[in-house]
Amino acid sequence: MFTEYEVETMVEDQEILDATVELKKDFIRNEAPYLEISDHDFFSLVMMAPIVGIALANGSVSLFEELALNKKARKLSKGGYFMKKDPVVYAMKFLIKKYDQWEEKFFVVLRLAMSKTFDKSALMHQFDSGAEVTSSVYKREVLGTPYILIRFISSFFLEQDEDIINNRSIAKVEYERLLDIGRKLELDQVPVFHMFCKTFNVK
């Protein structure tokens, strides 16, 4: 997943910053009028949107999921808030309540951030998404993929600091939400995302 320093670097891009500031104004005005949060930390909240969406796939966030989300949010917060109230964790409560209303607006900023940090067109090649993918083929694809895209995928779809290569189990409803979010973020246009999806054991 991303670090606060990587988040900081992305927010230094003027287009990403401008889009983040406009979305922050909209979100605070409509959902959290007393929310005090920096532009960096609000962009961190935006980065949390895909994993929040997966956690909400069955309609609610469990205590275990909430703890995992909070841990991830704290790692993205600027400066660290171990002994203080974390602004990203606090703001995430408002996002969870109205996720369906804000998902697309948050994804607009995420698509912009990805377009500004890697060239998706350079990653497209002939790939049969229905074909079986061996571990060695997937590993080679990961090695040939820009580091920043791998970071986006792991940050968006993995709760823990797991290796993107590892196999893991996932509930069917969560897997379907993952695929839907990947499509909305246009990640389904790159082969490495399809290969990543095949690492899940759907329960």
Element (H, E) at 7: helix 4-11
Closest CA to 33 of 104, 94, 109, 118: 94
Measure the N-to-C terminal CA separation of the chain; round to a whole number of Å.
25
- The conformation of residue 122, written as its DSSP 8-state character, comes to G
For the segment 187-200, the average pLDDT, to the nearest whole number, is 92
Alpha-carbon distance of 57 to 51, in angstroms, equals: 10
Cα–Cα distance for residue pair 22/7, rounded to 1 Å: 17
123-158 pLDDT, tens digit per residue, is 877 666 666 778 898 999 999 899 999 999 999 998
Query: pLDDT tens digits for 40-81?
Result: 999 999 999 999 999 999 999 999 999 999 888 888 887 655
